[in-house]
Amino acid sequence: MGPELTQAEVFRYARHLVIPEVGMEGQRKLKAASVLIVGTGGLGSPISLYLAAAGVGRIGLVDYDVVDESNLQRQIAHGTDRLGMLKVESARKRLLELNPFIQVDVYNEVFSASNAQAIASGYDILVDGTDNFPTRYLLNDLAALTGRPYVYGSVFRFEGQVSVFDARQGPCYRCLFPEPPPPDSVPSCADAGVFGVLPGTIGTIQATEVLKLILGIGQPLIGRLLLYDALDMSFEMITLRKNPQCKLCGDNPQITQLIDYEAFCGVPAQPHPQAEVGEGLDLSPEELAQRLQSANPPVLVDVRHPVESQISALPGALQIPLEKLPQKLHELNPQAEYVLFCRTGVRSARALKMMQAAGFQQVRHLKGGLNAWAERVDPHMLRY
């Protein structure tokens, strides 16, 4: 039947208690439930806030980062007064301010194959608030192997997706996407951007699905993928089916334990702000400043999206966005010396590998990108 509600809790949840689908019995279910949320950023913020407000009795928060000013455009669990604070501690403080009648456990560490089982032990539902491929596959596999639902959410610029994967009664994420995408093929939110309000929409829908699962009401998004486009305010529903050939939940499963997904996906589960290529191909801001003053300076190539040059730029640079570089290589001189740059060096490192594969011999990239240049060479340049 679930734990009893105190008088204070009855007052707090009164608007729930008068709904026939919830009532006292449903609110006791919420109080007895436990939910693990991996990530306390754009998606994790609204998910955790609404689950706390609804009275979910135990909420676990996993993150390894600290609050940064660039987070506050969308990560509403944090505030300006929390800059530099561990995200899990900042979020726990906010959740308990919102609802002191719940328990919030925090795990200040990277969620990985080595600790996922231990961290997730005892939680009823697993929720992805990180939106990166290593965590997505790890949570999906953990949920399927342990017989729990996994509430999935994803955002990109103006678009989002939500589903519930429960291999006991429907497809898992691998039924839809058997293998991770090729390394470096999908840009991060830091590189691609995300409309600030979008994670709020998607995260709130994820929270809705969690509450429905706990209460046993409505039709969860099991076997369905919800697509959302904020620009034209459209929702589209795609039916998903279990794949009998799925390596995880199919008729003859091959995946029986968790994998080191960061290495497997080729995409980091934690940020690497300064990508390194090595072998003398990394150029420091100070080294580039010297080269630009030489008699034969290199050709600068900006591989960012053109809109980013409105924030900061290096004079005279060719502008070739990373995604267009393969089609533009024939316009470049293979004998010339090039230095590639972007915001932090991640995209320029990818571009360097492309150019090397195409036969360009004299190509290097700016380690740390324009943010490092602004810190160490030009303090008047804007960082972002």
The class (CATH top level) of 33-265 is: alpha beta
- What pLDDT does residue 266 have? 43
Distance, CA of 377 to chain centre:
31
Catalytic pick among 172, 175, 189, 249: 189
pLDDT computed for residue 180 by the predictor: 85
342 catalytic residue (yes or no): yes
Residues of the chain with CATH 3.40.50.720: 33-265
pLDDT of residue 135: 93
pLDDT, position 190: 72
Where the chain has pLDDT below 50, the residues are 265-268, 271-273
Query: pTM here?
Result: 0.84
Catalytic residue among 172, 175, 246, 342: 342
Span(s) in the chain for CATH 3.40.250.10? 282-376
Query: Is-catalytic flag, 189?
Result: yes
Regarding the domain delimited by 282-376, which CATH topology (the fold level of the hierarchy) does it fall under? Oxidized Rhodanese; domain 1 (3.40.250)
Please give the pLDDT value at position 186: 66
pLDDT for 309: 95
pLDDT of 267 reads 43
